[in-house]
Chains A and B, each alone.
Chain A
Amino acid sequence: MDNNLVQIALQNVNMWAIMPSLILICFGMGLLLINVFLPRGTTKHAVWISLIGLVVTGLFVFKGWGDPQYGFNDAVALDNFAAFFNITFLVAAGLTILMSDEYLRREGYPVSEYYPLVLFTTAGAMWMASGTDMMTIFLGLEVMSVGLYVLAGFFRNQVRSNEAGLKYFLLGAFSTGFLLYGIALIYGVTGSTRLTEIGIYLNAHTSLLGNPMTLAGLVLIAIGFLFKIAVVPFHMWTPDVYEGAPTPITAFMSAGPKAAAFASFLRIMEYCFFSLKPEWTAMLWVLAVLTMVVGNVIAITQTNIKRMLAYSSIAHAGYALVGMVAANEIGYSGILFYMLAYAFMNIGAFAVLVLAGKKGEDNLTLEGFSGFGYKRPFLGVAMTIFLFSLMGLPPTAGFAGKFYIFAGAVKAGYLWLAVIGVLNSAVSLYYYLRVMVYMYFRDPLEDYAWVSMPVSVVVSIVIAIAGSLYLGIVPGFVMELAKLAVF
């Protein structure tokens, strides 16, 4: 091979397109190195360094807004779409890291390797959002998932945590298998892994659209992502894993990786399979309804708040899926908006849960929250705001997000889907309100004296409150950005 070819190959690389994730990876590796030279149990530096890494990455993402970068022969694109999702991941990771230190210390795992893992996972999520080639997306998915498998089972001596890690790994490996199978089939049909090329090829060869291979490829790829999004009936791992994993990781998983899966899923469906829109919207219609109904109905029986939030996250994935069924500008930008809003409100709720527990005993039952609102007014108000946002009541982020998504569905003509979504929100009032009833309308059983308010966790709660309210009261600006971000 002559030098000319090499130069051409390198010209197409364009490192700027992966710069945000590169920065994060560098911070993560640097942190790993630093950890070697510090005694075990020191974690404060890790928190700071990862936060700085996240902020630097965030600044870089902001700077690149409106200036799309394409690299690696168009296998990676840092466009507005990726940038918007990157911000969501960074928010999720930042809030998670802020609440982690206290929790890990309390549970007796002050291990600084935790933080690089979170950073790597975030970088993987970023590749998923900016991947424009099946292989890049798959790479991102694996980087993210492997990190999550470890993080879910991070408490090595707790059986629940082990179970969470193992279950997630086994089922996740299966779903990845489906995804790869699907990618292979689509490659076989179209001869490409590049998303745009697949789309153009399929559009040009309409005879292939009805081919069983194309359809099977579509379904198998979809299943790979539906598993990560936790759509019924691929949701079964969610409650067990969410309950067993360390609480901050549960919070992270419900916001960051879920958004990442949505990002790739959206891109693949829109870039590759736009010619098959009627088929996949029909499939997602059924799955969205199933997801909303099962998530909400089962959440009613839960007396463990962490588990209840796990089911509610399934239901929320169902709402977001409604935006995909709508498959129009408002629906898609609604998903972007909703994911960001969900990161704030759900992680905020988990941060309150982190503080409400004590060592070895997470204190997550409803009974355990009796009178909590009176004994801990700040946490009570914070939880109230997050719950209202999760219910979708105005003036919170959850309302604005749900509104956009349902408006998109109505605009696309899916009136009944919107009505089912609204009815599901009504069911969800029941179990969210129950938490509030316990917090405010019950006499305190305990004095909650153990609840300490470390600055870092309070900061994360305050940021989450600010985000939930800002997106709810003035959603216009962010929604405009989300609109610019969709294709």
Chain B
Amino acid sequence: MGRLSNNCKEARAPLANVFISCVPSLLFLGLILSLYHVPLPWTFVLPWVPSLNVDLDVYIDGLSAQFLLLITGIGSLVFFYARGYLAGHPKAKRLFILLVLFLFAMIGAVVSDNLLVLFVFWELTSVLSFLLVGFNHEDVGSRKSAQQAILVTGVGGLFLLAGFILLGEIAGTYSIQAFLHSPSVLINDSRLGVVLVLIFVGAFTKSAQFPFHFWLPNAMAAPTPVSAYLHSATMVKLGIYLLARLDTAFSDIIFWEYALVGTGTLTAVFAAVQTVYERDLKRILAWSTIATLGTLVMLVGLPGHGAALATVALFFAHALYKAPLFFVAGNLDHGAGTREIDKLTGMRHYMPWTATAALVAALSMAGLPLTFGFVAKDAISFAKAQAEVLHLVSYATVFVNVVSVAVAAIAAIHIFWGHDTIPRKSHPHEAPASMIIPPLMLVLCGIVFGLAPTLIDPLLGAAAKAMSPEFDATTVNMAYDLAPVIEVTLGTIALGLLVYLRWDWLHERLSRITFLEKVGPEGWYLAIMDTLPVIAARLTRIVQHGILPRYLMTMLVTVAVLLLVLLTAADPPWLWPPSTNLGVPVASASLLIIVGGLAACFVRDHLVLLLVGGLVGFGSAVLFMFTGAPDLALTQFFVETVFVVVVATVLVKLRRLKIRDRQVPLEPLIRPLDLFVAMAFSLIVVVLTLLVSALPFDAQLTDFYATRSLAEAHGRNVVNLILVDFRALDTLGEISVLFFSLIAVLPLLKRIGDKRP
């Protein structure tokens, strides 16, 4: 997208970059100011496609506002960070332009009130994600991952479109708010299940839910700012945004609840297990992001307003701790040149500021008190208590929490506080300020909101109210209620630390179990990608062989089959023509035609074939002659003679030039398939002809000419009169055309004559 601008002078680039990187910050400030002064919700309407009632309706309520704040807020820091991360990179500007486009696409997706407009922006984010993941296009892995990302999310998006269209057609509106206010039409429709499944596929592919999750860890091939922004904080949450947006309409449906809770839990557990397989810090973080996304989906599915509050709280907390951890991974890559956790220990000596950020973020991730992560955990356990979830789901959540504590420990303790025992060639160094300030600011926010949750209460309340209307925003109280959760929290942390200590051992054990890779969804994806071209190639060989007679045969067979189907479907009884006694001339003419046709099947020589074909023509001429059309017979005789003579001349000439003898293999005398097709087709045509001749003849036209020819045109030869009197103008036109073409042909013939030696 940004290719055009690459030709600009390099000297101007940094200034432009500075300008571009300010875009999200300005938007963020404007948003904060407006939020203070104008009460939610905000709405605007712009007509777009009036014929289908598609308007660019903008509707911003608490949920949208929360997303907007994160998109612009995290966006500001990501842009700031990217300036340091890509300093001096030749394609830095391209990245910024793509990021700005992505920013606007995200904003468009979360503010639009129209399902179709939402879809448009949804697909735009997929496309931009494709371009951003493939940013390092020199790398084969990057290219493959980019393709995988857009194929999975793009295809999911198409399912979503199908779901939206169906939803819109049933509900009679594409406006989300209008639909949410009166969802009963859809709820009572029998196609509800289809709509939900289609929407689920769309949302689950985008938010990396099982079994569509595999693209996300691979998308880590993107530059770190992109991973932090798209694949952790914003884009992957779009699916959850959509589910949360529609939650009010569907929350009473059992299928909705079970599907979301089931998928979310399964995803979270699966991702938690997968985390242990990895040694690359960024991929570890990716899997833990998927686990969080799973938890979020589960929370959306849970009934009750406590779940709504938990969703928005976890959503917020995750952005505040996961983005800094991604930044930390980027800093390690930058300063130490690796992200492998085996090669990273004791880094605090070299990177003190990064270490601070990592530690605080990890505390929040582990859910320690006084951090915002703890507030989120508190809200989750309240939601679970309120919704009375199954024990299985509870255990699963605890398990996921344990693993996330272990991940936090790896990111903070192992990498920064472990013994620095690994010999290094080069000295790791701290990242520049532009790469330290963003993570520090985010973790600072986490601490501030953790200490004083009341600061963020109104926003979370408004967002939760958008998800469950009965939620009363004034009663939000995120104050600490340590007693019930503290034991659980402590237990989780203890278990998590245990997992952390045995991490290498677990990794060792799990790595031996490789069947998941083969049978897992990614295996299916690869299998589809591998077999699709094979199937396509096979189909091409069958359908597109390039042999003209075979093409013709396919056409004939299709026509025959279609006619046959129709004939069997037509109304019986059919009218058959009355059987008449054929006279000798008609019978012999028909015999001539039949002999010609049969002979044509067994003749190899082209010249003979031509003569045999002529037999068919002459036969029909004779037929015409004895069935009352002597003029037609005359014409047929004439045309047939000229045709045979001309083509024969050409054939003889070709033979003299020896063009025909060039390695043309002789065809077998009898080709059963061709014979069958020819017989079948002609049989159907015969039946058709019989049926046609059985229909009563419309004598209107004959009568017209018969009665008028003598009275009006004063002649007895009707055919002649039609030509020169009734349709005289037509005849004049035909004759003129004939002569004009003669004029054109003459110079051509003359030129050919000139070239002769």
Instruction: Name A residues whose Cβ lies closer than 8 Å to a Cβ of B.
Output: 1, 167, 170-171, 174-175, 178, 185, 188-189, 191, 207, 210-213, 215-216, 218-220, 223, 227, 233-234, 236-237, 239-240, 279, 283, 294, 297-301, 330, 373-374, 377-378, 380-381, 384, 388, 393-395, 399-400, 403-404, 406-407, 410-411, 415, 418-419, 422-423, 425-427, 429-430, 433, 437, 440-443, 474-476, 479-480, 483
Query: B50 near A406 (CB under 8 angstroms)?
Result: no
Known contacts A170-B548, A219-B563, A429-B154: A441-B134 contact under CB 8 Å: yes
Q: Which of A236, A388, A476 contacts B127 (CB 8 A)?
A: A388
A441 to chain B, nearest CB (A): 4
B87, CB-defined interface residue at 8 Å = no
Bound Cα distance A300, B726 (Å):
59
Query: B571 near A211 (CB under 8 angstroms)?
Result: yes
Closest chain A residue, CB of each to CB of B130:
A433
Q: Which 4 A-B pairs have the closest CB atoms?
A: A210-B571, A394-B120, A441-B137, A300-B536
Q: List 14 A-B contacts (CB under 8 A).
A: A174-B552, A174-B555, A213-B692, A219-B566, A239-B544, A374-B3, A377-B4, A393-B127, A403-B165, A407-B52, A422-B159, A433-B147, A440-B131, A443-B138
Query: B51 near A476 (CB under 8 angstroms)?
Result: yes
Closest chain A residue, CB of each to CB of B135:
A441
Bound Cα distance A233, B542 (Å):
12
Interface string of B555-569 (1 = CB under 8 A from A): 100110011001101
Known contacts A212-B566, A219-B563, A393-B123: A297-B536 contact under CB 8 Å: yes
Interface string of B143-169 (1 = CB under 8 A from A): 100110011001100110110011011
B113 to chain A, nearest CB (A): 17
In this complex, which of B6, B7, B552 has the most chain A Cβ atoms within 10 angstroms of its Cβ?
Answer: B552
Q: Which of B555-599 contact A (CB under 8 A)?
A: 555, 558-559, 562-563, 566-567, 569-571, 574
Known contacts A236-B551, A239-B544, A437-B143: A213-B562 contact under CB 8 Å: no
Interface string of B692-703 (1 = CB under 8 A from A): 100100101000
Q: Which residues of B contact A283 (CB under 8 A)?
A: 562
Q: Can you add 8 more A-B contacts, CB < 8 Å, to A211-B570, A237-B551?
A: A210-B570, A218-B566, A223-B562, A373-B3, A393-B127, A394-B123, A426-B154, A440-B134
Q: Which of B169, B539, B566 contacts A298 (CB 8 A)?
A: B539
Query: A240 near B546 (CB under 8 angstroms)?
Result: yes
Query: B51 near A483 (CB under 8 angstroms)?
Result: yes
Query: A212 near B552 (CB under 8 angstroms)?
Result: no
Query: A441 near B116 (CB under 8 angstroms)?
Result: no
Query: A216 near B535 (CB under 8 angstroms)?
Result: no
Q: Which residues of A contact B54 (CB under 8 A)?
A: 476
Query: A377 near B6 (CB under 8 angstroms)?
Result: yes
Query: Could you tell me the dominant secondary structure of chain B's interface residues?
Result: helix
Q: Which residues of A contact B555 (CB under 8 A)?
A: 171, 174-175, 227, 233-234, 236
Query: B539 near A212 (CB under 8 angstroms)?
Result: no
Q: Which residues of A contact B700 (CB under 8 A)?
A: 191
Query: A410 near B165 (CB under 8 angstroms)?
Result: yes
Bound Cα distance A381, B6 (Å):
12
Q: Which residues of B contact A479 (CB under 8 A)?
A: 49, 51-52
B357, CB-defined interface residue at 8 Å = no
Q: Which residues of B contact A219 (CB under 8 A)?
A: 559, 562-563, 566
A-B contact count (CB 8 A): 187
Known contacts A394-B124, A437-B143: A422-B570 contact under CB 8 Å: no
Bound Cα distance A283, B548 (Å):
26
Q: Which residues of A contact B654 (CB under 8 A)?
A: none
Q: Which residues of A contact B51 (CB under 8 A)?
A: 476, 479-480, 483
Closest chain A residue, CB of each to CB of B567:
A212
Closest chain A residue, CB of each to CB of B712:
A1
Query: B692 near A185 (CB under 8 angstroms)?
Result: yes
Q: Which of B116, B532, B574, B692 contacts A300 (CB 8 A)?
A: B532
Query: B48 near A474 (CB under 8 angstroms)?
Result: yes
Query: B536 near A415 (CB under 8 angstroms)?
Result: no
In this complex, which of A212, A227, A429 has the most chain B Cβ atoms within 10 angstroms of its Cβ?
Answer: A212
Q: Which of B147, B159, B566, B726 contacts A437 (CB 8 A)?
A: B147
Q: Which of A1, A374, A381, A476 contacts B725 (CB 8 A)?
A: A1
Bound Cα distance A372, B616 (Å):
58
Query: A419 near B567 (CB under 8 angstroms)?
Result: no
B191, CB-defined interface residue at 8 Å = yes
B743 to chain A, nearest CB (A): 12
Query: B567 near A215 (CB under 8 angstroms)?
Result: yes
Bound Cα distance A212, B565 (Å):
10
Q: Which residues of A contact B533 (CB under 8 A)?
A: 300-301
Bound Cα distance A283, B565 (Å):
10
Bound Cα distance A207, B698 (Å):
17
A420 to chain B, nearest CB (A): 10
Query: B147 near A191 (CB under 8 angstroms)?
Result: no
Query: B543 near A294 (CB under 8 angstroms)?
Result: yes
Interface string of B514-539 (1 = CB under 8 A from A): 00000000000000000011011101
A118 to chain B, nearest CB (A): 19
Closest chain A residue, CB of each to CB of B548:
A167
B691, CB-defined interface residue at 8 Å = yes
B672, CB-defined interface residue at 8 Å = no
Bound Cα distance A299, B544 (Å):
11
Query: B574 near A212 (CB under 8 angstroms)?
Result: yes
B540, CB-defined interface residue at 8 Å = yes
Q: Which residues of A contact B567 (CB under 8 A)?
A: 212, 215-216
Query: B692 near A188 (CB under 8 angstroms)?
Result: yes
Query: A415 near B143 (CB under 8 angstroms)?
Result: no
B399 to chain A, nearest CB (A): 35
B47, CB-defined interface residue at 8 Å = yes
Query: B559 near A220 (CB under 8 angstroms)?
Result: yes
Q: Which residues of A contact B546 (CB under 8 A)?
A: 240
Q: Which residues of B contact A171 (CB under 8 A)?
A: 548, 551-552, 555
Q: Which residues of A contact B119 (CB under 8 A)?
A: 394
Query: B571 near A213 (CB under 8 angstroms)?
Result: no
B506, CB-defined interface residue at 8 Å = no
Known contacts A297-B536, A301-B533: A430-B52 contact under CB 8 Å: no
Bound Cα distance A380, B155 (Å):
24
A437 to chain B, nearest CB (A): 6
B422, CB-defined interface residue at 8 Å = no
Closest chain B residue, CB of each to CB of A475:
B49
B526 to chain A, nearest CB (A): 14
B34, CB-defined interface residue at 8 Å = no
Closest chain B residue, CB of each to CB of A415:
B166
Q: Which of A189, A237, A395, A406 contacts B124 (CB 8 A)?
A: A395
Q: Which residues of A contact B123 (CB under 8 A)?
A: 393-394, 399
Q: Which residues of B contact A1 (CB under 8 A)?
A: 712-713, 725-726
Closest chain A residue, CB of each to CB of B547:
A236
B18, CB-defined interface residue at 8 Å = no
A127 to chain B, nearest CB (A): 16
B114 to chain A, nearest CB (A): 12
B1, CB-defined interface residue at 8 Å = yes
A244 to chain B, nearest CB (A): 11
Q: Which residues of A contact B43 (CB under 8 A)?
A: none
B688, CB-defined interface residue at 8 Å = yes
Bound Cα distance A400, B161 (Å):
12
A438 to chain B, nearest CB (A): 10
Q: Which residues of A contact B159 (CB under 8 A)?
A: 422
Query: A236 near B569 (CB under 8 angstroms)?
Result: no
B503 to chain A, nearest CB (A): 36
Bound Cα distance A399, B147 (Å):
20
Q: Which residues of B contact A298 (CB under 8 A)?
A: 536, 539-540, 543-544
Bound Cα distance A422, B165 (Å):
11
Closest chain A residue, CB of each to CB of B137:
A441
Q: Which of B31-88 contact A (CB under 8 A)?
A: 47-52, 54
B705 to chain A, nearest CB (A): 13
Q: Which residues of B contact A388 (CB under 8 A)?
A: 127
A365 to chain B, nearest CB (A): 16
B479, CB-defined interface residue at 8 Å = no
In this complex, which of A189, A223, A427, A430 has the most chain B Cβ atoms within 10 angstroms of its Cβ?
Answer: A430
Q: Which residues of A contact B712 (CB under 8 A)?
A: 1
